[in-house]
Amino acid sequence: MGTKVRNLRMTRTKQSLIDAFIKLVNEKDFEQITIADLAEGAQVNRATFYAHFNDKYELLDYLVGDTASTAIVNRTKGEVEFNEEGITQLVLAICDFYQQPDVDCRRSYITLVVPQLKDKAISELKAYLLKALPSHCSADEIVLYSALIAQMIHESASQWASGNTALDKEDIAKKVALLVLHGFQ
């Protein structure tokens, strides 16, 4: 069998496992999902599951994957800027990121996935901010400020995503951008 056919088959199998996982998360709590459930849902055997993932946690991590990075790149068009527009787009990117998971909010999903989403979002924000912060800041200040601003951006998007504010995401993004930039004047 050719490499191209084998790669296509592996990609389809991995997607079948992801689809089975998403379907199962909508039906039962994460803790109750077994590898047998996932294999059955994807119409593969357990060994095939293990050829792709070590466990259901690795599958979940793969599913969350690079969506935070993708959301940031999509909103910023890959340009790294520390200005009102750049910060506004970071807040909107994290709002987009939280709209991505297409699963019902079952108890285990909230307790397991939301912290993982938060960690990924903050990590990607820090990486962006480390490149974007003004060069007149010292290295220590850049590390500190990137962590603080990433937390602020994340929290504002999280408040919006959870419905804890009546403000729309564009208003929140603009207010956070002004708040962040005011600290650098």
Kindly report, residue by residue over 9-47, the tens digit of the pLDDT: 778 999 999 899 989 988 888 889 999 999 999 999 999
Average pLDDT over residues 69-87: 92
Which residue is it, tokens 């995503």? 161
Which residues in the chain are classed under CATH 1.10.10.60?
Answer: 3-55
The CATH fold assigned to 3-55 is Arc Repressor Mutant, subunit A (1.10.10)
Kindly report, residue by residue over 92-118, the tens digit of the pLDDT: 999 998 886 554 445 555 566 667 788
Displacement of CA 99 from its chain's centroid (Å): 10
**65 vs 68, which has greater pLDDT?**
68
Kindly report, residue by residue over 136-152, the tens digit of the pLDDT: 899 999 999 999 999 99
Contact 74, 122 (CB under 8 A): no
Reported pTM: 0.72
